[in-house]
Chain A
C-alpha cells in the first residue's frame, strides 16, 4: 500500500515537472512550426470523421430518448433547445474529449513510447536536437488547439443529428429547427463550455506525451504507456469537467 501510494505521488510529481518543462520550452526558440502543423493535421483533421459520426449519433439518440418524456408533458417543442443545450454545455465536449483521449492520447503514448524504447528519442538528443521541443511541445500545443475545434464541430453535427431525430416523428424544416435551437442558447452556454475544452485538449496531449516520453525500456512499456495514457486522460477529463462546472456555477 505504501509503495503504491509512493508511486502515485512520484508520478504526480514527475507530471508536474514535465508540465513545468513544457511551459519553459514553449517560449524558447527554435520553434518547430512544421511539426506543429503536421500534428494539427494528425490530431485535428484525421479525427474529424470519428468525431462527426459520434456527434451525429449523440444528437440523434438524445433526441429520440428525450422525446417520449417531453411528449408526456406536452413540451415537445422544447426538444431542439434542450438537445442543443445538453450537447453544447456537457455532452459534446465530454464525449468528444473522451473519444480523443482514446484516439489521440493513446496514439501519442504509443508513438513516443516506441520511439523511447527503440532509442529514437536518444538519437535525437545526441544529434543536439531537443526531443522535448520537437515531440512534446508540438503535440501538446496541437492537441490544445484542435480539441476545441473538434468539439465545436461535434456540437454542429450533434444538432444536425438532433434535427434528423426530431424529423423521424415530426415534420419541422431546418430554418425553424435552427431558430428554436438558437433561441434557447445564450452566451454563457457556449463560452465556459468552449473554454474547458482547451483544458481537455491540453490534458489529452500532456498525458499522452508524459506517458510515452517516460516509458521505461522494453516493448511491454509501449502498451502500458498507451493504456495508462487513455485511463489517466479520461479520468482527468472528468475531473476538469467537474471543476469547470463548479467554477461556471460560481461566476454565471
Chain B
C-alpha cells in the first residue's frame, strides 16, 4: 500500500523543535553553522537539504547533545537543551530517536540483543518475555521478523537501516531524526525506506527531521523542506513550491 502525506497539523500548532541562531565552529577558521534557525511543528516531517558540508548533520547532532553548539538556543519540548545537565539531556534523549546513516548497529550483538539493549536499561519493570514480545512487535512493524537472531554483519544495507529504525522506535520516541536514511541503497530499497518513514509517522504520530540528498525520498516524505547554504537556512517551503522557485540555486536541487 502506498502511503500519502495527509498528516499536516494546523498552522497554529506550536513548534516542538525550535532552533535559533545556532553557531558551531571547528578550529578558528572552519565555521559550519553561522546562525542557523528553523523550527518543526508537532507531527510534521521536515526535510533538510543542502550540499555536503553545509552543516545538516552537525545541526541534528547538536539537537541531541552529541555536539555542543558554540552559541544559540535549541528548544525541544519547550526546554533549551544547550542549558541542560546530563540527566536533563537524557530525559529529552529518551523522547528522541536518531537513525544513523549506516544504522550504527552494535556489531557484537544480534538483532534481538540490539533491540532489547535500550529497552532493558530504560524499562526495568519489563520481564524477559515482555521484552521479547516488544522486540518481535517492533521488528514486525519494520517487516524484519526473520532477522531476529542474525548478527549485523549478516544484514544488507537496507536491513541494517530497518533494524536501526526498529531499535530507535522501541523506546517510543516522539521525535525521529533521520541522517541520510536512503544513502547507499538501491532505488527500490530507498523507496521502501521512504514508505517506512511515512508509515511509522502515521502509526506512531512522530515528528521527524529527515536529512537527505535523495530527492525522491524528500518528495515522498516531506511536509516542508529547508535548504541550508553556508550554515544558514537559504530557502524554505513545500517540495512543489521550492521546485518552482525563482532562485536558480534552489531549483538546481530538484533537477
Contact = CB atoms under 8 A, between A and B. Distances in A.
State whether these chains interact. yes
Interface of A: 30, 111, 114-115, 118-120, 122-129
B101 A119 contact: yes
A123 B107 CA distance: 12
Contact of B100 (A114, A115, A119): A119
Given A126-B66, A127-B117, 11 more contacts: A119-B100, A123-B98, A123-B100, A123-B106, A124-B106, A125-B93, A126-B93, A127-B121, A128-B91, A128-B94, A129-B117
A170 to B, nearest CB: 50
B33 interface: no
8 contacts: A30-B121, A119-B101, A122-B100, A125-B65, A126-B98, A127-B122, A128-B94, A129-B117
Contacts, number: 53
Interface string B83-115: 000000011011010101110111110000000
B107 A128 contact: no
B102 A129 contact: no
A226 to B, nearest CB: 15
Nearest to B179: A119
B215 to A, nearest CB: 25
B66 A122 contact: yes
Given A126-B93, A127-B171, A128-B122, A118 B66 contact: no
Contacts of B122: 127-128
A165 B101 CA distance: 58
A252 to B, nearest CB: 44
Nearest to A30: B121
A76 B209 CA distance: 79
Given A115-B107, A122-B66, A127 B102 contact: no
Contacts of A114: 107
B53 interface: no
A122 B64 CA distance: 10
Interface of B: 61, 64-66, 90-91, 93-94, 96, 98, 100-102, 104-108, 117-118, 121-122, 167, 171
CB-CB nearest 7 A-B residue pairs: A123-B104, A128-B90, A119-B104, A127-B118, A126-B98, A128-B93, A119-B100
Nearest to A129: B121
A119 B98 CA distance: 11
Nearest to B95: A128
A52 to B, nearest CB: 26
Nearest to A114: B107
B175 to A, nearest CB: 11
A129 B108 CA distance: 17
A126 B102 CA distance: 15
B102 A119 contact: yes
Contacts of A129: 117-118, 121
B246 to A, nearest CB: 39
Nearest to B100: A119
A125 B122 CA distance: 13
A115 B93 CA distance: 20
Contacts of B117: 127, 129
B130 to A, nearest CB: 18
B102 A118 contact: yes
Given A123-B98, A128-B122, A118 B104 contact: yes
Contacts of B66: 122, 125-126
A128 B66 CA distance: 11
Nearest to B90: A128
A6 to B, nearest CB: 14
A19 to B, nearest CB: 19
